Structure 1
Amino acid sequence: MATGLPADATAIWPESVKGTSVTLAYKSGGKQYRATLDLASGAVSGAKVVVIPADALFRDPGDMSPTLRAWMTEDAAAKVSLVLEDRKTAARHSLALGQPYHPAVHVIGDWALYADDRLFMEPSPLQALRARSFTGAEFKLLDTYRHAVRGPDGTLLVQGGRLDRGEGLFRIRAGADGKPAATMIASSGVPVKLALSPSTISTVDLDKNRGQANLDWTLSRLNVQVKVTLRHRRTGKTATRTVVPPYNDFVAPHIARIRWDGLLDSGECAFNGAYDWQLTATPLDKLGPAVSASGSFTVTRKVNPRDLNDNGSPDLLVREGNGTLTRLDTVHRAGVPGSGVVHQTIGSGWQTYDRIEATGNLGGTAVGDLVARDRAGVLWLYQGTGRGNYATRLRIGSGWQMYDKLAGGSDVTDDGRNDLVGFDGLNNFVHPGTGDWKRPLQSRWEVGSVPYELNLLA
């Protein structure tokens, strides 16, 4: 417990350390004071009034040397200026700084050192520590600035960084020519230049998390703009996402997270299979170059028996009055209503058929097939390609005009393969699937006299 401070002392702040004592700044009775705190006894002594310029920022009275005084002012529009005063002549010069977040100024000899103690996620154009003389000469000492205190020898100890050295602790003192010079005395091991770690993304399971996925990359810092392009290798279709900055309260520090909704730029659900990704991270503070990386991963999900283009969503088939068959791709995710976002024409001439039925996998290709009956009673198999269309038709057999209704897409016989059911007006018959495109259906079995609820494309 320190003793010797006035009872109304506020804004107590340690300014510098010298041996076993600390210089304290505090406010009391509406005035600014500096005093010495003895670390061994805890006693505060030698308090002196610090004359603060009337227009100085309340939170920072500035700094001075025997020849130069510097402080910050703020106008009614919250615009800040740096004021330099020659202590011999009392002449003043000012420099407009705009609206920094937390401006700071220190004096080394004939030079004022100023910067903005920047917020990590909101880089300031004044984040560099610059030295400026009363004559207007100026140069940059550090690329980044966080905090500064006076050392026991009167030099300035600054937490900051340089592109060529990284972040760390720097000692700033006047050189032989009187100009301030910065020397790193300890490194934090953190680079100032943006760095990107190798990605660990390999497989993305879009059956999880409602069809969404968190794609994570590790960066040395997150005050960046991240742009990621995912390109499906087979179709060339892409998903592009940009985040500024890519920060989330629920992930580890330095993780740039893209919350992919599982959709492509076209509005379609993402296709299964191999994707190539390209990432570019651009520093918002313009410190150092942008970094880029690329890689690949695989999107996977369980097979959807009504999915004709391998993107996890069921599709609808529509035959128009002129005989054109069209596939409607849907968006099918938990909590999201289905909607047709892509219309693909499969072909014309489908008025040849009086019955068309999507059956799921009959031919063994693991994607949806369909059967079509022509007006002569011949049944044809169209195997799905997984690309949203069908291969050349294959003849299954004749005599199928006996059925009033056809239905497929389910495993009636519980053998793991899709079957086809027909109703002849009196009884239901099941034709078990074989999974072999050369002979996709076995001989029929009678399964009852009550017709199934069948949804047909007529």
Structure 2
Amino acid sequence: MTALPDGTSVAPTGAGDLLAMSSGSEAWLQDAPTGGQIFKVRFEDGGGTGAYAGAAGRALFSTAARAEGGIDVRMHTAGDVTATVTSFPRGYHAVSVSPGTSAHAVLTYRAPTDPGLYEDRWALVDLATGTITEAGVREDIGMEGIAVSATHVAWVEHGSTETSAVVRTRATGETRRITLGDQWTGNLRFGLQGDQLIYGLPGGLTAQAPEPLFALTAYDLKTGAQTKLLDHVTSSAPSPDGVFYARGGTVAHGEGLYRVDAGTGGEAAPSASLVASTGEPTGLALVGHDIPEVIDLSRGGGRNLTWTLSRSNANITGTLRHVRTGKTQELQFGRPTSPEFTSRWGGDLNDSQLTAYNGDYVWVMSASPLNGIGPTLTASGTFKVVRSPAAPHDFNDNGTPD
């Protein structure tokens, strides 16, 4: 494990195990396994020029102010090589660079239009030549960024009536809009792999209501077919070779890191396979309960009964049934602040109209997920009610004289 200096920011470069490190006054590429530094660039506060703008591949990027106004976007590579990618006039700002593909960086920036107004633009930078090869404009953007594959460029737009993906075919420049959800759904996890547009809304595991976008979904750009990959997603990232990885879960295989297989030649549907499991369930699971084998009601007052689930966003019901008589009591639960669901049983039956009988009982607990992920959980168990000493003339065995 490599120790990082205080105040250092770390970002992926899309080039194997290389990481981009920055501290404000300088930035450098570092080999993650060895901690070795590939090269470093100093900025204004560190005795150099310009300001750090990002990294992609084996290059670092910066901006530098021009004397006549405006800024240059520069690409730095090993051997102290610096090249100007493009020059922006005065008023251009919010310049940022991130990995696109193994061959291209994504450059995003804001350009002035009317006084006080700006539009968000993007461009692809060829990492071999340091030149811009494609460019475009995007509107109503969130925080998703730009997704790039060998054949497409895509981004998300949050309009007044819907959230859409805009997909551009790189060979022709043709764009199309794909509706994903309602007007504002939050920032999606988003990417491209082969002919698949992959997207999902994080937060599903702990949500209090269902939302179709919680599922990580693949949209086939050729056929329009949609395939659910995961029941929910928390984070995602492409590998250097363009494979989409996601942290999330499925009811079938649980929580962990999943790898997306985009299918081959339209013959196979895309799928996600578990690479590394956390051992945690995605569907509701019963972690434990505190109901003993014997409950002594000699002193009255009842008892708290607690079931611990794998998460708190569930609606739970519980029933106690006296085996000999069939009499039951429905338990009442408040809204929990933790996965522990507790009900106070007053030692009664039949809607609290009867004092509970001694003898054998069955409990049944049912919990449904508020987020709609996974089936209803059902569990059951047994216990015995006893009292001592026995009450005189207690012919119905409920602990009180008849």
Q: What band does the TM-score fall into relative to the shorter chain?
A: 0.5 to 0.7
The alignment partner of 1:120 has SS state of: helix
Whether 2:312 is the aligned partner of 1:229: answer no
**Displacement of 1:214 after TM fit?**
3.1
The alignment partner of 1:191 has SS state of: coil
Matched with 1:277 is 363
Matched with 1:172 is 260
User: What is the aligned counterpart of 2:218 among 131, 135, 157?
Assistant: 131
Which whole-Å deviations, capped at 9, do the CAs of 1:154-199 have from their partners, x for residues lacking one? 3222112233332221223544427754332212222334443565
Q: Could you say if the C-alpha distance between residues 205 and 248 of structure 1 is closer, same or farther in structure 2, counting changes exceeding 3 Å? A: farther
Whose radius of gyration is greater, 1 or 2?
1
Query: Which sits farther off after the overlay, 277-286 or 111-120?
Result: 277-286
Whether 2:29 is the aligned partner of 1:38: answer yes
Q: How does 1:35-434 map to 2 (within 5 A)?
A: 37-39=28-30, 40=37, 45-47=60-62, 48=97, 49-50=107-108, 51-52=121-122, 53-76=137-160, 79-87=162-170, 88-98=172-182, 100-122=185-207, 124-135=211-222, 136-172=224-260, 174-177=262-265, 180-196=270-286, 199=289, 201-202=291-292, 203-204=294-295, 211=301, 213-233=303-323, 235-241=325-331, 247-249=336-338, 255-262=339-346, 264=349, 266-268=351-353, 271=356, 273-274=358-359, 275-299=361-385, 366-367=391-392, 383=393, 385=395
Query: Which amino acid in structure 1 is aligned with residue 164 of structure 2?
Result: S
CA distance in 1: counterparts of 2:203 and 2:288, whole angstroms: 28
CA distance in 2: counterparts of 1:186 and 1:222, whole angstroms: 25
Contact conserved, 1:106 with 1:113, CA < 8 A, in 2?
yes
The alignment partner of 1:18 has SS state of: coil
User: If the length of structure 1 is used for normalisation, what is the TM-score?
Assistant: 0.52
CA distance in 2: counterparts of 1:120 and 1:206, whole angstroms: 39
Higher relative contact order (CA 8 A, sep 6+): 2
Contact conserved, 2:246 with 2:259, CA < 8 A, in 1?
yes
Query: Which amino acid in structure 2 is aligned with residue 72 of structure 1?
Result: V
Q: Could you say if the C-alpha distance between residues 264 and 74 of structure 1 is closer, same or farther in structure 2, counting changes exceeding 3 Å? A: farther
CA distance in 1: counterparts of 2:216 and 2:260, whole angstroms: 11
Which whole-Å deviations, capped at 9, do the CAs of 1:224-270 have from their partners, x for residues lacking one? 332211123455432223659x6434xxxxx4423225265624475
Matched with 2:33 is none
Which whole-Å deviations, capped at 9, do the CAs of 1:390-443 have from their partners, x for residues lacking one? 76xxxxxxxxxxxxxxxxxxxxxxxxxxxxxxxxxxxxxxxxxxxxxxxxxxxx
Query: Which amino acid in structure 1 is aligned with residue 391 of structure 2?
Result: A
Query: Which amino acid in structure 2 is aligned with residue 186 of structure 1?
Result: A
**Displacement of 1:93 after TM fit?**
1.8
Which whole-Å deviations, capped at 9, do the CAs of 1:92-119 have from their partners, x for residues lacking one? 2221413535422111133210011124
CA distance in 1: counterparts of 2:284 and 2:369, whole angstroms: 7
The alignment partner of 1:147 has SS state of: strand
Which whole-Å deviations, capped at 9, do the CAs of 1:373-397 have from their partners, x for residues lacking one? xxxxxxxxxx554669976xxxxxx
Matched with 1:351 is none
CA distance in 1: counterparts of 2:357 and 2:176, whole angstroms: 69
Tell me how large the CA RMSD over aligned residues is: 4.0
CA distance in 1: counterparts of 2:141 and 2:387, whole angstroms: 60
Q: Could you say if the C-alpha distance between residues 36 and 390 of structure 1 is closer, same or farther in structure 2, counting changes exceeding 3 Å? A: closer
Q: Which ranges of structure 1 fall in alignment gaps of 5 or more residues? A: 6-11, 26-34, 250-254, 304-364, 368-382, 392-458
Contact conserved, 1:112 with 1:132, CA < 8 A, in 2?
yes
CA distance in 2: counterparts of 1:92 and 1:243, whole angstroms: 50
**Displacement of 1:38 after TM fit?**
0.9
Which whole-Å deviations, capped at 9, do the CAs of 1:23-78 have from their partners, x for residues lacking one? 689xxxxxxxxx9851236656234432354424332224122422332222346x
Query: Which amino acid in structure 1 is aligned with residue 199 of structure 2?
Result: Y
Contact conserved, 2:234 with 2:248, CA < 8 A, in 1?
yes
The alignment partner of 2:142 has SS state of: coil
CA distance in 1: counterparts of 2:175 and 2:307, whole angstroms: 53
Contact conserved, 1:117 with 1:146, CA < 8 A, in 2?
yes
The alignment partner of 2:337 has SS state of: coil
Matched with 1:14 is 11
**Displacement of 1:221 after TM fit?**
4.1
CA distance in 1: counterparts of 2:358 and 2:399, whole angstroms: 15
CA distance in 2: counterparts of 1:222 and 1:134, whole angstroms: 38
User: If the length of structure 2 is used for normalisation, what is the TM-score?
Assistant: 0.59
Q: Could you say if the C-alpha distance between residues 170 and 83 of structure 1 is closer, same or farther in structure 2, counting changes exceeding 3 Å? A: same
Query: Which amino acid in structure 2 is aligned with residue 71 of structure 1?
Result: W
**Displacement of 1:281 after TM fit?**
2.5
